């Protein structure tokens, strides 16, 4: 019986990255919610899912963290990579969501230098700054927090927690998709 063995350190890294995904997805939802309150003056449900997460932020953060590991001491490069990566990712997510559901969750058509209203120069620069803040300030703190939590929680419990969050995300995605398809 040939099984692919994953080293314990690889499993730990996977659990860490999944944890980062959920943390940054939740923080993204908070950012979106605060932004909507400031713009509209009242709470507006943001995002695709029922739950309080915006996966685009989680995926974007994890992609950014993984792609900039070797850029210690190079904040301008981190800014450029953040700007390009988040802009491309935002464009693709907008395109896919519109193709699947026929809806747009954001529209930058009135912004200067936009591309099909999916991305714009202003938001690209904003994403670059957010990415730089994430990499230089926020992520080291989140990483430290995760390490402290991992030291207090057994590996099995960590796996169960991450598994529960994944199941909840899948269920939310299914029900949210049904809502938008009907």
DSSP, residue by residue, 2-37: --PPPPHHHHHHHHHHHHHHHHHHHHHHHHHHHHHH
pLDDT level of residue 72 (50, 70, 90 thresholds): confident
Q: pLDDT per residue over 93-120, tens digit each? A: 999 999 988 888 889 999 999 999 999 9
* Percent of the chain whose pLDDT exceeds 70: 96
Mean pLDDT score of the chain: 90
Whole-model pTM? 0.87
pLDDT level of residue 7 (50, 70, 90 thresholds): low
């Amino acid at each position: 019986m040939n099984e692919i063995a994953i080293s314990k350190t690889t499993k730990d890294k996977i659990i860490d990255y999944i944890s980062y995904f959920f943390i940054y997805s939740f923080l993204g939802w908070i950012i979106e919610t605060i932004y909507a309150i400031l713009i509209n003056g009242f709470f507006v449900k943001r995002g695709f899912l029922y739950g309080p997460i915006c996966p685009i932020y989680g995926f974007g953060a994890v992609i950014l963290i993984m792609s900039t590991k070797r850029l210690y001491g190079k904040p301008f490069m981190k800014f450029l990579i953040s700007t390009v990566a988040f802009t491309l990712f935002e464009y693709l997510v907008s395109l896919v969501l519109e193709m699947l559901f026929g809806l747009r969750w954001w529209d930058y058509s009135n912004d200067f230098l936009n591309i099909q209203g999916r991305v714009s120069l202003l938001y690209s620069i904003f994403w670059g700054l957010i990415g730089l803040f994430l990499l230089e300030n926020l992520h080291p703190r989140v990483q430290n927090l995760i390490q402290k939590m991992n030291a207090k929680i057994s590996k099995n419990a960590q796996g169960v927690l991450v598994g529960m969050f994944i199941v909840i995300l899948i269920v939310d995605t299914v029900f949210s998709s049904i809502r938008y398809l009907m």
